[in-house]
Amino acid sequence: MYLLTIVITIILIEFVIQYLIKKVKKEFPWFLENQDIYPNFDNKKFKNFIKLSFDKKLGWKRKSNTTGFDKVGKNKIKFSIDKNGYRKLKLKKKPLVVSFGGSYVFGRQVKDEETWQEQISKKNNFNILNYGVGNYGTDQALLYYQSKKFNKQTKLAILGIVPEHISRIQSEWKHFSEFGNIHGFKPKFEFKKNKLQLKENILNKNTSIKDLNKIIKKIQETDRFFKDRFLKSLFKFPYLLNFIRNFNFNIKVIFTFFKYKKNSQIKKDLFLDYVINKNINDSHRLFLENYSQRLFLEIFKKFKLEALKNKHKSMVVVFPMMQDIKKNSNINYTNYFNNIVSKEIKVLDLTNEIKKNDLKKLYVNKINGSHFNKYGNKIVSKKIEQFIKKEFNEIF
């Protein structure tokens, strides 16, 4: 009788958990189930992605002579891409510097004239061309740099990264590491036989939506995050086991779902914060893994080598996310950049500078940070300007 009671109780708990997961999943798609391994692609959206954003060599990029919008609350922030592929300049001056990287280089959620590049340029007699692309990894930024031809006046190339890039450079399909980013197929570098080897983007412009399941099946074998992150988060029968395995995360999400049921914005912000925090924790651990360290380092060395071919000086800027600052484990990446990477290429790690400030005043979103606001861009612009003038004085 006692055993029967235990079995019935476990079955009831299993049904309750399944009900909760499916209910919360409607607003928290990061609760994964079996169908998420092969998600349903909208044919129209996929074709639009191929037409408007897809790039075989890079994965995706903003097209020249285009505009777009970021949302900040109820406001729309417009941005524009120049005919040459960089973000629109307020004032055209000597293009002494070029910058490549992800959204912290691009300046997501601020106006064209509010990016750190423009705030430096308007106080000096030179431009910093902005080739940042949202959601790029350092591998894509390097490949983008390699693909461009530059004005002879250009003397310095900046590679901007966030610490989480140590994960992005090992991803082939973003959905396996950033759940829900189903169009994010990309190339990646691997470190094999003591050298950097490029594994090209598996998609091409003729890829049909019918081909995607076969492609996803192949990527499961080569993208480490399918096993390391995706499968570890996947709910399948019995759901109870996965719930227990990620208990703190799961219970926090469900609690938030019901607590802020009538306040969708706070709920969305908190959900995003939980997900970013989870990914940040994973990325900080990778800074202690030999393979990840070596792969990242080789990409930086490759960037420096490519810069030398273009007769450019080179440097790396580390932009911390709000969650990076809040974690004691940021020592993992600060040690890595200051003690290892800096021996190969000049590095400006902005972590300690950002720590001195009230974080809520620097980032767009006060809960999860998101990106630097106008003031945050101003703070980092001062530090970057000081660094480049000190380290590359002969250019200016």
For residue 89, is pLDDT > 80? yes
Beta bridge partners of 33: 235
Of the pLDDT bands very low, low, confident and very high (cuts 50, 70, 90), residue 76 is very high
Q: Work out the number of other CB atoms within 10 angstroms of the CB of residue 306.
A: 16
**What does CATH list as the number for 61-163+287-395?**
3.40.50.1110
Of the pLDDT bands very low, low, confident and very high (cuts 50, 70, 90), residue 365 is very high
- Give dist(CA 128, CA 163) in Å, integer: 22
Reduce the secondary structure of the chain to three states and give it as a string.
Answer: CHHHHHHHHHHHHHHHHHHHHHHHHCCCCCCEEHHHCCCCCCHHHHHHHHHHCEECCCEECCCCCEEEEEEECCEEEEEEECCCCCECCCCCCEEEEEEEECHHHHCCCCCHHHCHHHHHHCCCCEEEEECCCCCCCHHHHHHHHHHCCCCCCCCEEEEEECCCHHHHCCCCEHHHCCCCCCCCECCEEEEECCEEEEECCCCCCCCCHHHHHHHHHHHHHHCCHHHHHHHHHEECCCHHHHHHHCHHHHHHHHHHHHHCCCCHHHHHHHHHHHHHHHHHHHHHHHCCCHHHHHHHHHHHHHHHHHHHHCCCEEEEEECCCHHHHHCCCHHHHHHHHHHCHHHCCEEEECHHHHHCCCHHHHEEECCCEEEECHHHHHHHHHHHHHHHHHHCHHHC
- Give dist(CA 214, CA 76) in Å, integer: 38
Of the pLDDT bands very low, low, confident and very high (cuts 50, 70, 90), residue 217 is very high
The model's pTM: 0.96
* Residue 109 token pair: 């959620």
- Give dist(CA 95, CA 128) in Å, integer: 6
Share of the chain above pLDDT 70, in %: 100
67-76, 215-224, 283-292, 345-354: the lowest-pLDDT one = 67-76
Question: What's the confidence (pLDDT) of residue 74?
Answer: 82
62-75, pLDDT tens digit by residue? 999 999 999 888 88
Question: What's the confidence (pLDDT) of residue 73?
Answer: 82
Question: What's the confidence (pLDDT) of residue 335?
Answer: 98
Average pLDDT, the chain: 96
Of the pLDDT bands very low, low, confident and very high (cuts 50, 70, 90), residue 6 is confident
Given a contact cutoff of 8 angstroms between Cβ atoms, the answer to whether 316 and 347 are in contact is yes
For residue 323, is pLDDT > 90? yes
Domain regions of the chain by residue span:
61-163+287-395
Question: What's the confidence (pLDDT) of residue 367?
Answer: 87
Q: Work out the number of other CB atoms within 10 angstroms of the CB of residue 368.
A: 20
For residue 188, is pLDDT > 90? yes
Of the pLDDT bands very low, low, confident and very high (cuts 50, 70, 90), residue 369 is confident
Question: What's the confidence (pLDDT) of residue 54?
Answer: 96
Given a contact cutoff of 8 angstroms between Cβ atoms, the answer to whether 143 and 187 are in contact is yes
Of the pLDDT bands very low, low, confident and very high (cuts 50, 70, 90), residue 5 is confident
237-287, pLDDT tens digit by residue? 999 999 999 999 999 999 999 999 989 999 999 999 999 999 999 999 999
